Structure 1
Amino acid sequence: MSLPLLGLFGEIGSLLSEAKKKQRDPVAYLGYERTVLEEFGDVLWYLAAVATRSEISIADLALQMGPSTTRNIGRTSDSIRFADLQEPDAQISWISQPTAEFERTLIRLSAEVGLLMVDFDAGRFVNNEPALAGRLLSILRELRQAAGDAGITLEAAANGNLAKIKDRWPDEKIYPAPFDDGFPEPERFERKMVFEISEVLEGDLLVSRLTKDGIAIGDVLTDNRQGDDDYRFHDVFHMAYAAVMGWSPTLRRLLKRKRKSDPMIDETQDGARAVLIEEGIATWIFNHAQRLEYFENLRALDYSMLKTVREFVQGYEAENCPLWCWEEAILQGYAAFRQLKRNRSGRLIVDLDNRTLQYEPIK
């Protein structure tokens, strides 16, 4: 049970940190509301995980909380919801700054979680479920109060956490339709495309050359930096975005598949700014990947990195792609990149129907 306990303790610290950052930079710190709501949801998740691993029902604890003894008469753990934990006459409205009341409640909440950790370390919960249930109930009470002081509800926090889980770990993965569905054929990505990338020497420079059906696509690429890092093979990342998400303004421009039949889409989604954003994403992720052996042997990516990537594309169609979809695209792109890095050339098969990018050596 130590892992969810550490998670619970950490998320309480994150809540305190959000209040501190907003106090320190009341104007400059943006995203406070969204982040606080998410942190409350994460605290609830870890609290539920601790309870579940101890075979304690969060719903049974909730029945002991009120909000009034009369409201929950006859209720069962199967029917109670987080919405039932608010006082019947509570007026909940978002508070844009951490108040003194909120800070005091957070300190009490932190103290309760601290006592939980101390008692766990001392072995006081061994064969003593009532003691653990009592600690969890005290935490849940302070958590409800803290949410009210912040102007949010535990119901909103729980719903947000469920949406977050579905965004990253859905029960069923349903890929979004390609963004060019319904456009004329010349403006759509071919649903299966085969590219070749090869490394050649031009003068004193090693460059990467991209071809499709034997025809050169775009300019030859160098690493564009001091020191060799093989970024000249980075077109493979654009192929992965296209394969998995049906999105790549860069590849669309290279293939002359811009959606010109819709001037607004052509300007906003396929224009120069969208291309720059995609290139920025590829470069930013690459800087992280270098520190992690280009994601070799990784089956999952850091959640905060994926969130930041999606923040890059706010206002663009790719923001509608779930985080698991971004994760698949990035991992497939780097699997192909590692092969290119080893072999210095390769054939890339982009399959939009099967949402895959496959690497083959050039024989």
Structure 2
Amino acid sequence: MAQTMITLDGYQRLAIRSDRTKIGGGIDLAVLGLVGEIGSLLSETKKKQRDARSYLGYEASVVEEMGDVLWYLAVLSHHAGLLLSDVAGDRAKEGTDPTFAELQPQQTLALQTPTVAFERTLLRLAGEVGRIASLGGRGNFTGDPALRELLSGIFDTLTSAADEAGITLEQAAKRNLAKAEDRWPTERAIPPLFDESFPQEERLPRSLVVDLFERTGGNNKRYVVQRCNGIFIGDRLTDNIMKPDDYRFHDAFHYAYAAILGWSPVTRALFRQKRKSEARVDEGEDGARAILIEEGVATFVFGEAKRLDFFEGQRPGDLGFGFLKSVRQFVRGYEVEACPLWLWEEAILAGNEAFRFLREKRGGRLRLDLDGRRLSVEDIPA
């Protein structure tokens, strides 16, 4: 996709494949999303002005936010029965499907600081989106004759904002499609396991059965122990918090990462499967820092999941995009960063499903299948 020109309607056809906003025949969610993305774009500008020296990644953020605005615009047009080329207005000849490059033939420039013109155009864009939101407040406005004109105005102003920012909408569109594919892929192609090229003794076990169960020690203190092939492994785990919350069962998360992502420095250390044949990998991917990073991921996920009943009833596609992005931020620079967001979601959901079982039954048997990228949980046989 990065090497080919993309047309407006071609982009729209790809964008609507990840549309989850059409509910109950209305288009309010798409309108709300558009309003929200304009707000995010303005927020990026504000942060750059306020924290000019310390705020990094401004250009990348603006490109991403413009791509999100473009996505909602394409989806909203689709809901209204319009092609994106239909709302391009005077920028496209009627009956044609131009490429984004044809609408913006200028070269991109580095976006370092928000200009006054850019700020004013964004405010104008916010006003135009506000008008379409006001129109939508009256109900389902798919057939409203004013809709096409309003959408055309938004598209024209968005293009002007991109011109002033030195950003092409083609760049924003392609990055947006890659982002959607990362989260809601058309085909779920599972990446290869990270240790496939290593000797067998350095690979995570492709099949593993681990029992986790609770014990009560002195002072009625509860802890969790683990057993594999009849041998007790690891340390006794407690909640390590003033108010108990069953965090002692959290190794279910680590086993989910191992089974589904093919990544878990914690599990490697526990079963002594570190990749010592390559010193850089042994230290950089399987070492103490990587273990701490994974523990940080597990703690963050646990904290978020605890607020939401450990994602009970959640299915693939339900977890928040921002939450998944934050999880992957933890592992930036490590091999698992290459795993797509949808696979992270599957690992998180599987880990929480196992955790809920362990918490309810006070123990259980976990079965890891790395080849099938699955984690299951069941009662421990009597």
Q: Same fold (TM over 0.5)?
A: yes
User: How many residues are matched?
Assistant: 352
Relative to structure 1, is the Cα distance of residues 199 and 122 closer, same or farther in structure 2, using a 3 angstrom cutoff?
A: closer
Match of 1:195 in 2: 210
In the alignment, structure 1 residue 234 sits paired with structure 2 residue 250: yes
Correspondence for 1:301: 319
1:109 is the counterpart of 2:125: yes
Give the percent of matched residue pairs that are identical in Structure 1 and Structure 2: 52
- Does the aligned pair in 1 maintain the 2:80–2:142 contact within 8 Å? no
SS in 2 for 1:289: helix
Q: Is residue 269 of structure 1 aligned with residue 278 of structure 2?
A: no
Q: Is residue 199–residue 208 contact of structure 1 (8 Å, CA) maintained in 2?
A: yes
Aligned counterparts of 1:63 and 1:76: Cα–Cα separation in 2 = 11
Please name the residue that 2:37 is paired with: 11
Measured after TM superposition, the shift of residue 147 of structure 1 is 1.1
Displaced runs of 4 or more, over 6 A:
none
* Residues in 2 aligned to 1:352 and 1:337: alpha-carbon distance in whole angstroms: 19
The aligned residue for residue 321 of structure 1 is: 339
Partner of 2:76: 50
Whether the aligned pair in 2 keeps the contact of 1:62 and 1:85 (CA below 8 Å) is no
1:148 Cα deviation after fit: 1.6
In structure 2, the residue matched to 1:257 is: 273
CA distance in 2, matches of 1:329, 1:148: 41
1:222 to 238, 246, 252: 238
Distance 2:367 2:143 in 1: 58
Work out which of the residue numbers 365, 372, 377 in structure 2 matches 1:354.
Answer: 372
Once the two structures are TM-superposed, the CA of residue 124 in structure 1 deviates from its matched residue by 11
Unpaired segments ≥5 residues, structure 1 = 67-71
Shift of 1:183: 0.6
Show the 5 A alignment for 1:108-257. 108-121=124-137, 127-129=143-145, 131-204=146-219, 205-257=221-273
- Determine if the alignment matches structure 1 residue 82 to structure 2 residue 95: no
TM-score w.r.t. the length of structure 2 is 0.89
Using the TM superposition, name which of 26-35 and 105-114 deviates more.
26-35
Whole-angstrom CA distance in 2 between matches of 1:23 and 1:82:
29
Cα separation, partners in 2 of 1:98 and 1:252, compared to 1, 3 Å: same
Q: Which amino acid aligns with 1:356?
A: R
After TM superposition, the score normalised by the length of structure 1 is 0.93
From the superposition, tell whether residues 206 and 127 of structure 1 become closer, same or farther in structure 2 (CA, over 3 Å). closer
Would you say the 8 A contact 1:248–1:278 is kept in 2?
yes
- Cα distance in 1 for residues equivalent to 2:313 and 2:182: 23
1:123-162 C-alpha deviation (Å, 9 max, x unpaired): 7956443x21111111101001111222211001110110
Please tell me whether residue 96 in structure 1 is matched to residue 109 in structure 2.
Answer: no
Q: CA RMSD in A?
A: 1.6
